[in-house]
Amino acid sequence: MRKRLSESFLRAEERSDLARAIEDYLNYLVVEKGLSNNTTEAYRRDLNAYASHLKGRGVDLDAISPADISAFLADLRGRYADSSIARLVAAVRTFHKFAVREGLTDNYPTSMLRSPKRALRLPHALSVEAVKALLDSAWGPTPADYRSRAMLEMLYSSGLRVSELVGLDLADVDLDYGYVRCTGKGSKDRVVPLGSMAVDAILAYKNKARPVLAKGKRPAALFLNARAERLSRQSCWKAVKRAAAKVGIGEIYPHSLRHSFATHLLENGADLRAVQEMLGHASVSTTQIYTHVTKKRLQEVYERTHPRARR
């Protein structure tokens, strides 16, 4: 035991100042900022890539220069999408700000660093007809079929993220009043309405399938796998893919139903702020991308139907 402890201590001592600072920053994100494991791991991957680049240049925390960071970003271009580079820039910038604030270094090489301008990528929303076909395809006699139908109806009815969906407990859903309470990004709770068709699907799953999946146990999770445990995000993704394959819909993800939820609400006159609240977006500017989708569709309809739209 003493040998293992001493070896562990030695490895910690041998780590560079940069590596120790990155670990302190990641701990700060978890403990003080309350970021999720998924978000923290994304920061870890980005900063490890950054640290590996700097190690190759023989540079540690106090010696990092703007030129080192520029070389790192230049190496990424052509291999990473603009959105990924923007995320890396944000991670590097906030890390260095933390390191200076905490007194880990006086070096602040990112003071003039700016994120690259990202091209606007519109979310892909299904048509109302495609959503109906997708949801109808999930009908079936098995517990897994009932579960898939309930999940798909819920994703489209409430616009939940897949992580929010599988994180639901039985107590989070009120079928009498038609709403669901979920915990989103930044550990923020919100309440979202459920449509009557989603309520019916969840009720059918709850009464006919969940008791079978629970196997006599009393798990808290709403959606269960065959071992009476909380369903994983991967299993939800597979259920969506299976339903899409039945009706010939191509590339689709659980998030596609969230996009469709927001787009269809706005196309039918919903208030942008209300949609923002239901989606759990911290800023309305994030929700505004869906207005671009609706405008694009309006333009397509106009050009297709107006007799003088095209020459």
The DSSP code for 280 is: T
Q: With a cut of 90, say whether residue 176 has pLDDT above it.
A: yes
Q: Which of 96, 147, 210, 258 is catalytic?
A: 258
- At 4 the pLDDT is 38
Task: Return the closest-CA partner of residue 198 out of 252, 142, 159, 237.
Answer: 159
Does the annotation mark 306 as catalytic? Answer: no
Q: Which of 20, 185, 233, 242 is catalytic?
A: 185
- At 301 the pLDDT is 63
What does the DSSP assignment read for 195-226? Answer: -HHHHHHHHHIIIIIHHHHHTT---SBSSB-T
Does the annotation mark 185 as catalytic? Answer: yes
Q: In this predicted model, what pLDDT tens digit does every residue of 102-122 receive, in sequence order? A: 999 999 999 887 766 655 566
Read off the pLDDT band of 34 (50, 70, 90).
confident
Range scoring the smallest mean pLDDT among 143-152, 256-265, 292-301: 292-301
Q: Which of 44, 97, 255, 297 is catalytic?
A: 255
Q: Which of 241, 242, 281, 297 is catalytic?
A: 281
- Taking the CA atoms of residue 99, residue 103, residue 108 and residue 112 in that order, the dihedral angle to the nearest 10 degrees is 70
Backbone angles phi, psi at 34, to 5 degrees: 70, 30
Q: 0.75 exceeded by the pTM?
A: no
Mean pLDDT over each residue of the chain, to the nearest integer: 86
Euclidean distance between CA atoms 208 and 202, whole angstroms: 10
Euclidean distance between CA atoms 257 and 162, whole angstroms: 10
Tell me, rounded to whole angstroms, the distance of Cα 56 from its chain centroid: 32
By CB atoms closer than 10 A (0-12, 13-18, 19+), residue 287 is buried
Q: Which of 161, 210, 259, 264 is catalytic?
A: 161
What does the DSSP assignment read for 72-85? Answer: HHHHHBTTB-HHHH
Q: With a cut of 90, say whether residue 195 has pLDDT above it.
A: yes
- At 118 the pLDDT is 57
Does the annotation mark 258 as catalytic? Answer: yes
All domains in the chain, ordered by first residue: 2-101 (1.10.150.130), 128-304 (1.10.443.10)
- At 2 the pLDDT is 34
Euclidean distance between CA atoms 183 and 163, whole angstroms: 9
Q: Which of 43, 50, 205, 290 is catalytic?
A: 290
